[in-house]
Amino acid sequence: MYWIAQLVGIALISAVLSAWARGARTDRLLRLLLLALLWTIALGVLGALIGGFVATGLLGIADYDDFDLGSFLIAVLTSVVLLGVAERTGIAGRG
């Protein structure tokens, strides 16, 4: 049951980091609209969940009961890639 809390924690941290990265990259952090911010958070959470599943379930490089840096880094990378793909295809809201 602890692994669910770990995945949620990874998802929330990744969502905040991807929202910050999006704003810092485009220099529009203060001008992000609420919808664009929600899209960013949703895509960050989805990417973190996918990355956490890949790291723990498929690759087996992380434990389900402890925080693992490898799992965290894969989750962050997956959320950043997902956000980039969404922006390139026009799925993500524009801030």
- pTM summary value: 0.54
User: What's the whole-number average pLDDT of the chain?
Assistant: 74
| Alpha-carbon separation of residue 2 from 6, 8, 29, 64 (angstroms) | 6, 10, 34, 7
CA 12/CA 9 separation, integer angstroms: 5
Per residue in 7-28, pLDDT tens? 778 877 877 777 766 665 555 5
Whether the Cβ atoms of residue 12 and residue 40 lie closer than 8 Å to each other? no
